[in-house]
A and B are shown apart, each in its own frame.
Chain A
Amino acid sequence: MPPSDAPRPPKLSAMILGQIRPAITLLVVLTTITGVLYPVGMTLAAKALFPRQSAGSLLIGDDGAVRGSLLIGQPFTGPGWFHGRPSASGTTPYDPTSSGGSNFGPTSAAFTTLVAERAEALRRDESTGSATIPVDLVTASASGLDPHISPRAALLQVRRVAAARGLADEQVQRLVAARIEPAFLGILGRPRVNVLVLNLALESLDSGGAMPKLSEEGLRPPP
């Protein structure tokens, strides 16, 4: 509805036709700015300023092979490795091409049954006895790629890992303790352990060296 005292409002069709050119021109112009210049410029800037982070925070081994990403979890199932959280991604666990969670409702019987099975398996594998199982080890993450577990969940696995690798419990325990990432500034987020980083450290410990073979640069969490 045209406001009150507009003198002889132009015809509707004329109004529409008059706006077609600016609509299309500005869509093209703004698409070029925000859809081409902006992402391309950002990619170049990110590459120059933060080459490692913008390329996926990749962990490179001594032989130059990419072992994974600091930020993306990997599945571990063998007794000689620390295990991450259950993953509900795609058809295979920890699949970065189809990230996602289980979307189980909190009261779902299928959910509680699955958690009970996982808890039972953990009790057996870790010989926990009467100790309780940290909830992060029996629940799937939102992304299915969660690289972290809680410090308690890591410490729970020390005995099994040490036994499988023929190491002393204390040695493995120290390895875990050294890799606990604190909350940011003490308040943001939660203390956690990166499972992939921990296992890579374990691997290099196993192959003789006391120092991790990965470059320190690669092992450091993002600033």
Chain B
Amino acid sequence: MMTSATLEVAAVLLAAILAAAAVAPWLATIFRIGSDSDANCEPETDGSWSRLLRGLESPLLRAAGVWPVREMTATEYAIAILLFHAAGFGLLLFLLRCQPLLPWNPDRLPAVPWLIALNTAASFVTNTNWQSYSGETTLSPLSQALGLTVQNFLSAASGLCVLAVLVRGLVRRGSATVGSFWHDLVRVTVGLLLPLAILLGILLASQGVVQSFDTGIDVALVEGTSTAGGEAPSTRRIVLGPVASQIAIKQLGTNGGGYFNANGSHPFENPTPLTNLLEIVAMLMIPMASCLAFGRWVGDRRQGYALLAAMAVLFLPFVVLIVRFETSPNPWLAAAVPSIDQATSPEHDGGSLEGKEVRFGPASSALFAVATTATSCGGVNAMHDSFSPLGGLVTMWMIQLGEVVFGGVGTGLAGLVAYTLVAVFVAGLMVGRSPEYLGKKIEASEMKMGMIVLLVPPIVTLVGTAAACMLPAEAAAAPNPGPHGFSELLYAFSSAGNNNGSAFGGLSATSAFWTLALAAAMLASRLLTMLPLIAIGGLLAAKRTVAESPGTLPTHTPLFVLLIAGAVILVGALSFVPALALGPIAEALQPAMAAGEGTR
């Protein structure tokens, strides 16, 4: 069995790498990295691909009054991105609040309550996609399509724009500008995300992911009214909707907000093992491809491989661990109920199966879980709340590493570059060299901005968790007792404070405190990492390059890869090990007891 799990995991990861390698050249041509004024940068090639892109984007930009494209300073870029976020927030809030007045609401769902609407708007605009509502019973198909699907595209596109600014900072020399947000936004949405989403959506629909104008169909149960007990209703409403289109971009854009409450474990979102593979590949594809495209952008592919390697070093050991944890029997269950069989055989899946689907089995569920938390996707195909204590720890820690191990589309790699600057700086201090990255001197201003990027998510996470623990009424939102209850609180703020969006789903985070605190955490973590990253881009773009000398620290070597990974681990471990010890680690150390043998 261990071999079949290994084979399956290896097959999925291989598929992800191949997909990323295929997308990387495409992604590399989407952004125009060099500037006209910079003689050192090559002008944009005039191939048929860029002509096609220009044909697509020019009417849209002309309508917006920003054609021909004018480059922006970092400040202007930041203002544009903020205004766009604000406008998106406003539109989504309007759609949710005015749901009953708008068309395509066949089930006549009422307006989404204020708190939930605010939380949801913050959640989808920030690419977090925390869901404090149940999709089937709260949102009309119009809200799902016009509100959520749109933000799935736009928040992901904004993330890639931030990455583009940072790369321009590294590549351009003595440039006052860092590109045009409007140009970047339209290009990446129409030129990359939309075609990929169409392709993936069609593949998903072929497997049974529903895509329909109907909202549901009432079905009489096969066993019918003869059901013992009598009172249970003998019909069920099978909920349909425009699901495939939303799931495609939810996975590709590392968004994670599903159509249904059960997210990617719902058979209509993820019906077969093949769709499961496609959805895992879709999550990893753009973040991985960004690393490869990075190498192309900076003109040295080894730099991209080094960043991808640093992510892989942080990812693969946890894949092995979590698959092992989840395919092992639950010892607490084994002690309490000796008559059940948790061993795995060809006819039967063992392992920890509570909150997992039979068609995926525990190995695939574990792989999906580590991929969705390492990237900032946050969609789930199994309930993380019911994972083994250490399996849950892996998912939580992948989030707490700051969503830089793959991370969000664009923002993940941008965050890792911030860590790389820290690694360069620390290494420079250690050996007495002036810190440089890709020919750019790293100085105090960049480091200050970099530290904001690194420290805001842990601060938001830990302060939020501490606040929840100190308010007994709010801490009671966690349904499980003891250390697992603490894990549920910690997971919620980790998820919101790093824009992941997955949850230990048992938490009923619907009170005013939870909806508003999590909304604030999501906004703070998104904006206070995005804006400093843009500032770093602006600061670096203005600098001249320094010539490489024998004293320059090479940034593509295995040693440097370990240095980056070390910086990530250090911040993640120092910030979170104490909290993790109170939650999942304490839980894992609880003794397993037979039923009735003492109470906890």
Contacts and interface: CB of A to CB of B under 8 A. Distances in A.
Interface of A: 1-6, 9, 12, 15-16, 19-27, 29-31, 33-36, 38-39, 41-43, 45-47, 49-50, 53-58, 65-78, 81, 85, 89, 92-109, 111-113, 115-116, 119, 123, 132-136, 138-153, 155, 183-184, 187-192, 196, 199-200, 203, 221-223
B359 interface: yes
B196 to A, nearest CB: 12
Contact of B538 (A3, A139, A142): A3
A3 B74 contact: yes
B145 A134 contact: no
Contact of B227 (A45, A54, A78, A200): A78
Contact of B348 (A15, A24, A134, A144): A134
Nearest to B540: A3
27 contacts: A3-B541, A23-B87, A30-B153, A30-B189, A34-B154, A39-B246, A42-B211, A47-B212, A55-B214, A75-B232, A96-B237, A96-B238, A96-B239, A102-B383, A103-B505, A104-B385, A104-B480, A113-B336, A115-B337, A134-B348, A135-B341, A142-B383, A143-B267, A145-B267, A190-B273, A192-B358, A222-B208
Given A33-B194, A36-B145, A148-B357, A68 B260 contact: no
Contacts of B214: 55
B354 A78 contact: no
B205 A42 contact: yes
B208 A38 contact: no
Contacts of B381: 142
Given A27-B88, A97-B136, A133 B339 contact: yes
Nearest to B1: A190
Interface in B543-597: 587, 590, 595
Please report whether the interface of chain B is mostly helix, strand, loop or mixed according to DSSP: mixed
Interface residues of B, number: 151
Interface stretch (B21-29, B77-85, B293-301, B370-378): B77-85
Given A19-B76, A26-B185, A136-B353, A66 B217 contact: yes
B401 interface: no
B336 A112 contact: yes
Nearest to B332: A107
Contact of B64 (A22, A67, A199): A22
Given A99-B262, A105-B386, A142-B262, A151 B75 contact: no
Nearest to A92: B232
Interface string B56-89: 0000100111100000011110011001101110
A189 B364 contact: yes
B387 A38 contact: no
Interface in B77-115: 79-80, 83-84, 86-88, 91
A3 B149 contact: no
B253 to A, nearest CB: 11
Interface string B205-242: 11111111110110111110011110011001111101
A212 B167 CA distance: 62
Contacts of A101: 262, 265, 354-355, 382-383, 385-386, 505
Contacts of A27: 84, 87-88, 91, 154
Interface stretch (B3-11, B40-48, B410-418, B510-518): B3-11
Contact of A50 (B206, B345, B542): B206
Contacts of B4: 183, 187
Contacts of B387: 106
A190 B358 contact: yes
A74 B201 contact: no
B239 A75 contact: no
A123 B297 CA distance: 64
Which of A53, A119, A190 has the most chain B CB atoms closer than 10 A to its own CB? A190
Interface string B466-499: 0000000000000111101101000000000000
